[in-house]
Structures are given as structure tokens and as C-alpha cells.
Amino acid sequence: KQEVTQIPAALSVPEGENLVLNCSFTDSAIYNLQWFRQDPGKGLTSLLLIQSSQREQTSGRLNASLDKSSGRSTLYIAASQPGDSATYLCAVHFGGGSQGNLIFGKGTKLSVKP
């Protein structure tokens, strides 16, 4: 069964800290992986997309890495700010017949304290 797991489920850090969110997936035959941000009661905002042939992607203070062989991705947030507080979701396009849809983790709820 293709599954995505995110650890930790919740994280609270003081403003200014660098932090890492973890995502693991059960099948290394992936098409791509997306990281999303979700504010309470809102839709999903795409942060980064990593193709299966790529090792990492960067956007501003965000850096996402992908290691297919170990079934892991990390989202690194530099110099965290209170505005970064949200739930971060990892989603995987697995290969084969499920290529058209994303399998999501349950998310990591991040709280950045001023």
C-alpha cells in the first residue's frame, strides 16, 4: 500500500530558528513530490515541487530535498517567522496507475512563537 507519513505531527519553535519537517513514503517509484502549506480552514498553497529526477528545490527561505532510495523528503525552513505558522503537508505522486493523484501525509502543524 502506498502511504505517506509525516513526523512530527506538531512542532513549536521560537522565532528565528531553523527547522526541518520530515516526510517518508513507502514506494521509491515516485513521479514527483509536492510540499504544501495550509492555513486553518483554508485551501492548499503549493510551496515546492520536486521531480523524481531532482534532489532538491529551493524557494526563498524554503529548501526541500528528496531521497528516493530511502523514501524520504525534508522541508527546511530557515529563520522561521510567526507568519510561517501553518500546517505543512507532504504529497506524493506515485508511479504506475496512481500517477494522476496525490497521496498526502497528515501534515505537521507548525507554530512559530514571537
Partner 1 sequence: DAGVTQSPTHLIKTRGQQVTLRCSPKSGHDTVSWYQQALGQGPQFIFQYYEEEERQRGNFPDRFSGHQFPNYSSELNVNALLLGDSALYLCASSWGPSGPPYNEQFFGPGTRLTVL
Q: For binding to partner 1 (CB under 8 A), which residues are involved?
A: 4, 31-32, 34, 36, 41-46, 49, 51, 89, 91, 93, 97-107
**Closer residue to partner 1 in complex, CB, 60/114:** 60
- For the CB of residue 114, give the shortest distance to partner 1 in the complex, in Å: 26
- For the CB of residue 93, give the shortest distance to partner 1 in the complex, in Å: 6
CB 18 within 8 A of CB 10: no
What is the Cα Rg of the chain in Å? 14
**Closer residue to partner 1 in complex, CB, 75/103:** 103
- For the CB of residue 107, give the shortest distance to partner 1 in the complex, in Å: 6
DSSP string of 11-56, one letter each residue: EEEETT--EEEEEEES-S-EEEEEEEEE-TT--EEEEEEEETT-SE
